[in-house]
Amino acid sequence: MKSYHTNQIKNIVLLGNSNSGKTTLAEAMMFEGKVIDRRGTVDSKNTVSDYTEIEQMYKRSIYSTLLFTEFMDHKLNIIDTPGSDDFVGGVISALNVADTAVMVVNAQSGVEVGTEIFGRWAERYNKPMMIAVNQLDNDKANWDSTLDALKQSFGNHAIIIQYPVSVGAGFNGFIDVLKMKYYRFKDDNGTREELDIPAEEKDRAEELRSSLIESAAEHDESLMEIFFDKGELTEDEIRLGLRIGLKTRSAFPVFCVSGKKDIGTKRLMEFIINVAPSPEQGVQFETVDGEIIPCDENKAPSLFMFKTAVEQHVGEVCYFRVVSGKVSEGMDMVNASNDGKERIAILNAAAGKKREKLTEMFAGDLGCTVKLKNTKAGQTLNGGGKSWKFKAIEYPDPKFRTAIKAKNESDDEKLGELLNRAHQEDPTILVEYSKELKQMILSGQGEHHINILKWQLNNIHKIEIELFAPKIPYRETITKVAAADYRHKKQSGGAGQFGEVHIVIEPNIDGAPDTSKFKIDGKELGMNIRGKDEIKLDWGGTLVYYNCIVGGAIDARFIPAILKGIMEKMEEGPLTGSYARDIRVYVYDGKMHPVDSNEISFKLAGRNAFKDAFKKACPKIMEPIYSVEVFVPGDVMGDVMSDLQNRRAMIEGMSSEKSFEVIKARVPLAEMYKYSTTLSSLTSGRATFIMKFLEYQQVPTDVQEKLLKAYEAEEKDE
């Protein structure tokens, strides 16, 4: 195929809830552009987009797929995205490189939770948006209720360009109020007739055209003047107004389509090419230093990698947007993240697994390449001596976490490699080995998200794994002052071991002055502070360590050993083995032996003195608290609220956002395991939520008692 210049390129991302028909619409677009000569169907498992085994098994998109079609001497790049919030990572990657979003809405269901979720993401990325009402040929399709829902969600921004003459099985055409034509379709292959508007539809069409003209004029003062002067706008003037409205997200043009019957596909593509922003008009890329790089094919070449995938018999495939300049086959470029040199051995336009070889690609185009040595998604390649580094894609925090291990220990290393590769392909999959919990923790956007990965590990890579509830990263701390001493003495022939340490501990409160006097068991203890170390702990909180030794009771060379022993016990707290935090330790006395004292003796003495004092200091277990926002339809809000309260949630407020109610709450992480699954069950998949770590809080007394008993039982078993 030929290479297209920047002004001949349009980049769109298809958004929408599962089963809205994005993949089927993409098939029709490629068919109209003659990239394919026959349209596949999701049920037949032969679409260009959903080509992986798991997508064909579930009959839905799980990964974002780059496609293209050629139409009106333009290249239209299309990214088909998943419709489930569990796979939002692919949507976010696509929004970063597309210039326009096309929201596909199922005319049977109207605005669904996916419409709302992905509409918010498009808003966050400031992307122009069009709306394609699909499946108008279905028996249960309802144009009026769908339009009402769109108006409720998007207000007056939803601007009707087309409306159907009839819906349901007889849907075969629509009135286009921009063109003021009736388009009637003769078959299921996009063959259309362009007719005059029927007399019975004239009044409605004129009324909607007037609304369209007013909407278009609102976006530009000069158009408003023409409208006031003439009372009319030409077709080109309306397009100009819509172009401005699209760019400012104050106009969301609404179209009628049936992807299955290829009705309206061509008109939608014509509008995209005539009105939607081209790459140089869209949102421009910004470097980490704040420099805006214009999409200009005459500038130095740069590529932004937005996706990495591994394909059998091909290897790693890197998908990119040409941010600036022109990239040619065989060009040498430099990775801005690691200074590694990469040669672009091959350039491809991608339509799923189908690839068309190119010799050069211009700014704004999307494509893929293979055999890069050390370049991943989110990284930048530069030519022309530039060192631009574009901002990395930001993904949402995970909503589901689980522990994972291989059933066969011999597979541990391979499992680690595969999980790291899974993260490269889908950055919303996070994996870490928790030294604290002694577990491999796998996080994602939902249980279905993780189960898809499990299927791949089991069926493609032939590794049997187990998923189970992860431990909670509790924290331990103290609430009052306590003192303890410990003597470590060991004699077994030859040199012995001897070290004695006396300490006082108290809670650490940021900004509080050092304590110089304590009253313990009716006795006053004065502290002569000779040294102070304030240690910011890797797991949060602080340890403040005071050397208050006077008169040489403990030699200065042993003071660090005592701290080392205390730190060991801080890493494995005395109550449940969790990290301890926010404690001040005063070492004020002790004893040593001229021969038998050594570092190990004082490390053990410090460790055990700290453990004893900790248990006397009214210790408390702290748990991670998350800020949770649940977006839920009003009719099931009561059930969701009840479930949250059963999870020890503290409801902080409620508000409305378009057609959804928003519940804001603080919820312990321990109560959020499999919440995504429960929420989906309670709301029939119509709700979603976001969660973010907030703080640590003390657990209730009854919960602490259960945790202590569980830890004691675990210790006995070991």
Please report the pLDDT score of residue 718 as a whole number: 58
Q: Is residue 244 part of a domain?
A: no
List all residues 6 or more positions away from 149 whose beta carbon is below 8 Å from its beta carbon: 110, 111, 659
Q: Is residue 372 part of a domain?
A: yes
Any alpha helices (H) in 617-700, and if so which ranges? Answer: 637-646, 675-683
CA 441, CA 539: separation in Å to the nearest integer? 16
Please report the pLDDT score of residue 453 as a whole number: 96
Same domain, 536 and 656: no
CA 709, CA 702: separation in Å to the nearest integer? 11
Same domain, 447 and 489: no
List all residues 6 or more positions away from 483 whose beta carbon is below 8 Å from its beta carbon: 502, 503, 504, 505, 518, 520, 521, 525, 613, 616
In the block, residue with structure tokens 């110089």: 516
The pair of structure tokens assigned to 604 is 């053990």
Same domain, 410 and 504: no
Please report the pLDDT score of residue 312 as a whole number: 81
Same domain, 357 and 500: no
Please report the pLDDT score of residue 164 as a whole number: 97
Q: Is residue 571 part of a domain?
A: yes
CA 447, CA 672: separation in Å to the nearest integer? 12
Query: For residue 535, what are the β-bridge partners?
Result: 543
- The CB-based long-range contact list for 682-686 (8 Å cut-off, 24+ gap) reads 682/636, 682/639, 682/640, 682/643, 683/632, 683/633, 683/636, 683/639, 683/640, 685/113, 686/112, 686/113, 686/632, 686/633, 686/636
Same domain, 112 and 169: yes
Q: Is residue 652 part of a domain?
A: yes
| pLDDT less than 50: residues of the chain | none
Same domain, 465 and 495: no
Residues in the chain: 718
| CB contact at 8 A, 659 and 146 | no
Any alpha helices (H) in 85-171, and if so which ranges? Answer: 88-97, 113-124, 143-154
Q: Is residue 680 part of a domain?
A: yes
CA 411, CA 427: separation in Å to the nearest integer? 23
CA 662, CA 659: separation in Å to the nearest integer? 10
Q: Is residue 220 part of a domain?
A: no
**Final residue of a structural domain among 382, 414, 445:** 382
Range of the domain at 443: 400-471
Same domain, 120 and 49: yes
Tally of structural domains, the chain: 5
CATH of the domain at 378: 2.40.30.10
CATH of the domain at 684: 3.30.70.240
Same domain, 275 and 289: no
Same domain, 24 and 47: yes
**Final residue of a structural domain among 356, 382, 408:** 382
Please report the pLDDT score of residue 274 as a whole number: 97
Please report the pLDDT score of residue 396 as a whole number: 93
**Final residue of a structural domain among 558, 587, 618:** 618
CATH of the domain at 601: 3.30.230.10
Any alpha helices (H) in 185-282, and if so which ranges? Answer: 202-217, 221-230, 235-247, 265-275
Same domain, 440 and 333: no
Q: Which three-class secondary structure state does DSSP give residue 255? A: strand
Q: Is residue 394 part of a domain?
A: no
In the block, residue with structure tokens 């976006």: 219
| CB contact at 8 A, 549 and 588 | yes
CATH of the domain at 450: 3.30.70.870
Please report the pLDDT score of residue 658 as a whole number: 72
Same domain, 591 and 503: yes
Same domain, 266 and 150: yes
CATH of the domain at 57: 3.40.50.300
Which of 487, 19, 9, 78 minimizes the C-alpha distance to 277?
9
Q: Is residue 218 part of a domain?
A: no
